[in-house]
Amino acid sequence: MPRFAAWSAERARAIIDDYRDTSGALLPALHALLVEFGHIAPEAIPLLAEALTLSRADVQGVITFYHDFRTTPPGRHLVKLCRAEACQSMGSASLEDHARHHLAIGWGETTEDGEFTLEPVFCLGNCALSPAVMVDGELYGRVSPERFDAILASAGQSTAAPEQTP
């Protein structure tokens, strides 16, 4: 399960400084901040802009352009569902619907209890075993709604479906 450091401007400056003299430093610096903190805190934008001599708008534009960058902390468990064509052809749309309904969140959102963040991915490289899901960096293939529930349950939380009234 991913564990991230609490936001620290001092630590963020040190990370950014590691990339200051690198050509095209913004993307590697953003990825390094994401690895360290789990998200790009809004406070990082002026630090990046100043250190890399960019405008804040340029930094914000890159963050919002790439779906890999999130600006809020993720849940304790990061759930990525493959949305590539191979997975779609093998039924990932019904798995996506199940996941969003079951967790009661949309793409890029975190459950109220902070357990799960649901993110789309556009290829997990597991086409032969579609549909694919990655939870906390572990890849699963041939995931049905029932298997999805079991995977999340093993990640630390029961995902029993809410009771339906007839």
**76/2 Cα distance (integer angstroms):** 7
Is the backbone peptide bond immediately before 166 cis, with ω within 30 degrees of 0?
Answer: no
The reply to whether 113 and 48 lie within a common domain is: no
Is 89 assigned a ligand-binding role in the annotation? Answer: no
Q: What is the predicted pLDDT for the residue at 2?
A: 56
Is 87 assigned a ligand-binding role in the annotation? Answer: yes
Residue 2 lies in a domain: no
Residue 20 lies in a domain: yes
pTM for this model (two decimals): 0.76
Q: What is the predicted pLDDT for the residue at 46?
A: 98
Residues 136 and 157 sit within 8 Å (Cβ to Cβ) = no
Residue 102 lies in a domain: yes
Show the tokens assigned to 85.
């064509």
Instruction: Per-residue pLDDT tens, the chain, 166 aa: give them.
Output: 457 899 999 999 999 999 999 999 999 999 999 999 999 999 999 999 999 999 999 999 999 998 889 999 999 999 999 999 988 888 889 999 999 999 999 998 999 999 999 999 988 888 888 899 999 889 999 999 999 999 999 986 544 444 333 3
Q: What is the predicted pLDDT for the residue at 127?
A: 83
Structural domains of the chain, count: 2
Q: What is the predicted pLDDT for the residue at 153?
A: 93
The reply to whether 91 and 148 lie within a common domain is: yes
Write down the H helix ranges in 20-109. Answer: 26-37, 44-51, 56-65, 85-89, 92-103
CATH number for the domain spanning 120: value is: 3.40.30.10
72-113 residue pLDDT tens? 999 999 999 999 998 888 888 999 999 999 999 999 899 999
Within 10 angstroms of residue 165's Cβ, the number of other Cβ atoms is: 3
Is 82 assigned a ligand-binding role in the annotation? Answer: yes
Residue where one domain finishes, among candidates 65, 85, 109? 65
Domain that holds residue 18: 9-65
Q: What is the predicted pLDDT for the residue at 166?
A: 36
